[in-house]
Structure 1
């Protein structure tokens, strides 16, 4: 009966409870953060530079942290290389239209606002050669005094003229230049958010597990004068050096081994045909190694790596030595061939020159001669033939002696040339090794 009597009162009890809950729970539209955001953006004009006095300059403070050097890309048909780095970029400026009294808004001292709803400086990087790759961070922080902080990570793909002369012990200096696109220095000026010393030696966030190592980030401020006006710009010079160990193992040590093998070929006799085969195989090894090296060594129009210069000189010395060996073998082959034909030619000439000729009158007179006279004449002819053959053998031996003498002179000349090439090759190999060790020592001393 009590339940039946209370049934009409339940709707009133539920309505009263809901009213109490509604009174205790504030509506989002009535929150201090909502009211502050609405007040700041209600009449905000993002197309206008945020200053009350238009003659006042807006100063943008810049700062970067180099996080990693991702890759150095080679461009075959351009003078410059492309450097891909990951940086953390920060910019701070003051917006006079976004300030408030924190005591009137529940002591709120900092809020986040959409970046696309407020004015932002048009700062770009001059060295950009590709689209900016960074995560979309749509908000910025604004404090009660109107200071705006915009921070975001950026993958910068920029042009950088690399000096590859000391590869793989090279040190590169790549610049990132920030400036406004449209605003002159009278409207938008640039400044450093931190001191230059702190920026230069800050390596806390850099990842050293890549191919490159960060040495320093120096910075300079300047004003660019052009026909369109004067523009403020800040340049950060990122100085990096390559980790050479992988290239020492895969390029430098094999190249030294290949040069030592080629150097050992000079101990083969210069007139040995096997030397030509050996040097030809070494030349094939040089060619294969050079093709593989071209894929590892960066190519630029401004400089040639020192390792490539030494390697080309060693290949030239190898080709000269191979060409000299080919000429020597060819010369010796011609001498031996002419030596085998010489006695036959001499004998044939003597037979043709000193052989008996038949004269009709002498034949008629021989019929009337006595047998004793004919016998004496036959013996005289035999002695004459023997004498001519002895003369031919003597001429042949003299010719052989002259040929051997010429051959000995050529061999002596080629031996001296071979020694000269050997010493040049040895000096080049020693200079190559000393240069690499010096570059490595200079690299390690930085």
Structure 2
């Protein structure tokens, strides 16, 4: 019985190892099985080099495809980029003549060693190799190429001083986290037509190729130096939308605020229109602040202008209220209606008042409103000459006092 079981096991071994190698026609499958199973390939090694004193060099290429959005409130930039990286894995070498002149194969990214590169200023995810379903090209020389198009969300600290007519500079910062510059180096490369691949955005505009810059840097952390790559984007905001949203309404409301002083008091619209202007600027400031981050570092100059205009409109409202109150106020002297015959009594009250004191009263006889103005004895004749024929009769009643000028209010 034991001999039968032993022969059966030998047959299984023969079927699993001998038959696939003899009858299999796919050289790539045989090659990949040989690398993974027979070579005991370890994807968790620190770096895939035979010489541990030599750092592995990763060639990094990045192309900006589009700027999707910049959330001013949360200060998050969303971009679509194309990333291509290549490195040499010395444990993935093979002789192409032994595998039917196979010089390149496709393999899952999750099955091989990945470079230690992370997105530093990430807002969503830092691992750009998170999609393990992507494939890589592996060459017989050990060269590995990986490229993918991904959407990145990064923090971009905006400068709101010139908002909404500003230019923002945002960065995509890639760097090593575990392997220092003695173990891994990053070399940046740019394609010649990288700017032609950029798709314009309805809100942001990049005018020149030099507005997209890439450079390598060494980041110091915990007394170690880590190699990194920075993609710097200088973008200008398109102003048409914000001109119609903020600038033109602000100019229109300011003009309305000035028109309130031209309205007659009797129209009754001075205070009403001034109140409308104050409320309009309040709503405008509220809408403006909703699109800005909750930060006290820098204040928008346009926001300061709105606050100044709100203060001026409030002052205009106060002035219009005062003007209306003065126009409709009652004279402190003429607390009752005097007839023309009683003007002498009123004139005696004016003798102790300063020069040019004015008082308006209604006559009980002719139902007219008259103005009494103290001018002094020396101005009596001039006042008589300048008064109208209609008012001379009224003035003659008070001529003996030589202190009042009577005119129609």
Q: Please report the TM-score for the alignment, with normalisation by the length of structure 2.
A: 0.72
Deviations 1:344-364 (A, max 9, x none): 8xxxxxxxxxxxxxxxxxxxx
Q: Secondary structure at the match of 1:317?
A: helix
Q: Is 1:28–1:34's contact at 8 Å kept on the other side of the alignment?
A: no
1:101 to 76, 90, 95: 95
Distance 2:117 2:335 in 1: 89
Partner of 1:149: 145
Instruction: Identify the residue that residue 330 of structure 1 maps to in structure 2.
Output: 325
Judge conservation of contact 1:68–1:210 (CA < 8 Å) in 2.
no
Task: Give the alignment partner of residue 159 of structure 2, picking from 163, 166, 178.
Answer: 163
Partners in 1 of 2:110 and 2:23 — Cα distance? Answer: 23
**Aligned-partner Cα distance in 1 for 2:261–2:143:** 76
How far apart, in 1, do the equivalents of 2:90 and 2:164 lie?
52
Residues 1:113 and 2:107 aligned together? yes
CA distance in 1: counterparts of 2:23 and 2:167, whole angstroms: 57
The correspondence of residues 200-279 of structure 1 with structure 2, limited to 5 A, is 202-215=194-207, 216-268=211-263, 274-279=269-274
Per-residue CA deviations over 1:31-72 (Å, capped at 9, x if unaligned) read 221222122223211122210111110011112111221122
* 1:268-325 deviations in Å (ceiling 9; x for gaps): 3589753222211222222233333334556643323332222211111111121122
Change (3 A) 1:32 1:229: same
- Within 1, Cα distance between the matches of 2:243 and 2:142? 55
Q: TM-score, normalised by structure 1?
A: 0.66
Distance 1:236 1:311 in 2: 36
Aligned pair count reads 330
Consecutive unaligned residues in structure 2, runs of 5 or more: 1-20, 360-370, 372-409
Task: State whether residues 60 and 91 of structure 1, in contact with CA within 8 Å, keep that contact through their aligned partners in structure 2.
Answer: yes
1:369 corresponds to = none
Matched-pair contact (CA < 8 Å) for 1:87–1:154: yes
Quick one: distance in 2 between partners of 1:206 and 1:300?
Answer: 31
Change (3 A) 1:391 1:254: closer
Which structure shows the higher helix fraction? 1
Contact 2:62 2:190 in 1 (8 A): no
Q: C-alpha separation between the residues in 1 aligned to 2:242 and 2:327?
A: 45
CA contact (8 A) 2:67 2:201 kept: no
For residues 44 and 229 of structure 2, what CA distance do their matches in structure 1 show? 25
Deviation at 1:182, TM superposition (A): 0.6
Q: Which residue of 2 aligns with 1:393?
A: 346
* CA deviation profile, 1:371-428 (whole Å, cap 9, x unmatched): xxxxxxxxxxxxxxx9xx88733223444965429x9xxxxxxxxxxxxxxxxxxxxx
Q: Using the alignment, how far apart are the partners of 1:149 and 1:240 within structure 2?
A: 31
The SS at the match of 1:204 is helix
Q: What secondary structure sits across from 1:168 in the alignment? A: coil
Q: Distance in 1 between matches of 2:253 and 2:82?
A: 45
Match of 1:357 in 2: none
Whether the 8 Å CA contact 1:343–1:393 is kept in 2: the answer is: no
Q: Residue 104 and residue 390 in structure 1: after superposition, are their counterparts in 2 closer, same or farther (change >3 A)?
A: closer
Q: Which stretches in structure 1 are left out of the alignment for 5+ residues?
A: 1-25, 345-385, 408-446
Deviation at 1:204, TM superposition (A): 2.2
Match 1:58 to one of 46, 56, 59 = 56
Equivalent residue of 2:121, what SS? coil
Listed one character per residue, the Cα deviations across residues 7-35 of structure 1 (whole Å, up to 9, x for unaligned) are xxxxxxxxxxxxxxxxxxx9873422122
Cross-structure match for 2:358: 404
1:44 aligns with 2:41: yes
Deviations 1:173-211 (A, max 9, x none): 11111111111110011111337xx4xx73222221432
SS in 2 for 1:266: coil
- Return the alpha-carbon distance in structure 2 between the equivalents of residues 28 and 284 of structure 1: 85
1:230-379 residue pairs with structure 2 within 5 A? 230-268=225-263, 274-296=269-291, 300-334=295-329, 336-341=330-335
Distance in structure 2 (CA, Å) of the matches to 1:111 and 1:213: 41
Aligned-pair distance for 1:169?
Answer: 2.4
Structure 1 residues 161 and 232 mapped into 2: Cα distance closer, same or farther (>3 Å)? same
1:361 corresponds in structure 2 to none
Check if 1:92 corresponds to 2:86: yes
1:79-108 Cα shifts (integer Å, max 9, x gaps): xx1111111122111101112222332222
Instruction: Report the alpha carbon displacement of residue 343 of structure 1 after superposing the two structures with TM.
Output: 7.7
